[in-house]
Amino acid sequence: MEPDGELKHPSLVELSMRRLRHEILSGALAPGERLIEEQLTQRFGISRAPLREALRSLGQQGLVEHLPRRGARVTELTRDDVDELFGLRDVLERYAVETALPLSGAHDMTALGEALEGMASAVRLDNPLGENEAHRRFHVALVALAGHRQLLMAYEPVILKLQLYMAANLRREAEQRAPSEGVERHRRLFEAIASGDPATVLDALSRHGARTYIG
């Protein structure tokens, strides 16, 4: 066994966090599933110290919740919570579009395009974790087009809470249709934004299918 100082090495925390994040976003660990420290330390071959740091970080990312006297579990939202958060996401994104368009030179689409290509690259490499991260960046970049700091500050916690359900929608879409379909949906939205016409973008958002595969 390594000395305690080495067990807290950031690389162990990072590796544990990435592995848990992958298992949560891939659906291997379901919403509401308990995360039992003893089982995880044995499975990952690490001590409790880096595991707890990883769980704390995942808690800050909205993927893990810590319950008093009951330990940690994968974050689980009620159906009402999911409905309300997706509704709020829609309102904030539509407001961002109405505020942003037509785009000025100060707010170009570079970040949005990079996120879209990140999604496409991740699909080609069969990297669902990378696709999920690029997917989140795409939607944050969409809202950032408005150049509205308070709007972005309001939006980021919403997208953080929804990322598990956004990942599930992409995953089930790939299972029922094709792995590239999620990318193509976002490419259509990107092209609508590039048109500069708010009505076109709002129509594209209404057809976006943000939760088609999770009900």
Sign for the pseudo-dihedral over CA of 172, 176, 178, 183? negative
Task: Tell me the per-residue pLDDT of 118-171, one tens digit each, with 9 for 90 and over.
Answer: 999 999 999 999 999 999 999 999 999 999 999 999 999 999 999 999 999 999
Greater pLDDT, 70 or 79: 79
| The pLDDT of residue 4 | 38
Report yes or no: 56 and 42 within 8 Å, Cβ to Cβ.
no
| The pLDDT of residue 9 | 56
Report yes or no: 182 and 174 within 8 Å, Cβ to Cβ.
yes
pLDDT category of residue 215 using cuts at 50, 70 and 90: confident
**Cα 58 from Cα 65, distance rounded (Å):** 8
Task: Tell me the per-residue pLDDT of 72-123, one tens digit each, with 9 for 90 and over.
Answer: 999 999 999 999 999 999 999 999 999 999 887 656 899 999 999 999 999 9
Task: Tell me the per-residue pLDDT of 4-28, one tens digit each, with 9 for 90 and over.
Answer: 333 445 689 999 999 999 999 999 9
Q: What is the CA radius of gyration of the chain?
A: 19
pTM of the predicted model as reported, rounded to 2 decimal places: 0.87
